[in-house]
Amino acid sequence: MKKFLLYFFLFALCTACAKKNKSPLVGKWKLTHTLIDIGNGKATFEKANQNKVIEFFADGTLKSNVSYCPMDKDVSVGTSGTYNMDQTTLVIPCASTASKINFELKDVTLIIDYPTQCMEPCKEKYAKVE
């Protein structure tokens, strides 16, 4: 009986101390600022007044309350997709092809970069809300 309790205690101790790797992206993020350059290279981030939220899950999936597909007529329709922390990309399935969007994490800010959807630089900053 003592051996059983000892093994149980050691097992419980090892599993309790196991490090759980959770992506820093997991949770809800709300749009705070947008940057759209008109071609002169002088664009700066401006405060956003949209209710745009994107949520990341531990299984590598995401969902949003708006569409990230460049040709969607109704952007208020939500979207879902996947993310890859190693490649720092979001992949959103769109009507004709998947939209690949770059992102970066700077401290507690998520910056999404739309390289193929804008002719000039356009980015969005998000703050974590959950």
pLDDT digits (tens, 9 = 90+) for 116-126: 556 667 889 99
Domains held by the chain: number: 1
Is 121 part of any domain? yes
Is 95 part of any domain? yes
Tally the C-alpha atoms within 13 A of residue 93's C-alpha that lie toward its C-beta: 6
SS3 per-residue string spanning the chain? CHHHHHHHHHHHHHHHHCCCCCCCCCEEEEEEEEEECCCCCCCCCEECCCCCEEEECCCCEEEECCCCCCCCCCCCCCEEEEEECCCCEEEEECCCCEEEEEEEEECCEEEEECCCCCCCCEEEEEEECC
Is 88 part of any domain? yes
* CATH number of domain containing 114: 2.40.128.280
> What's the whole-number average pLDDT of the chain?
80
pLDDT digits (tens, 9 = 90+) for 65-118: 988 876 666 666 788 999 999 999 999 888 777 888 999 998 889 999 976 556
Is 32 part of any domain? yes
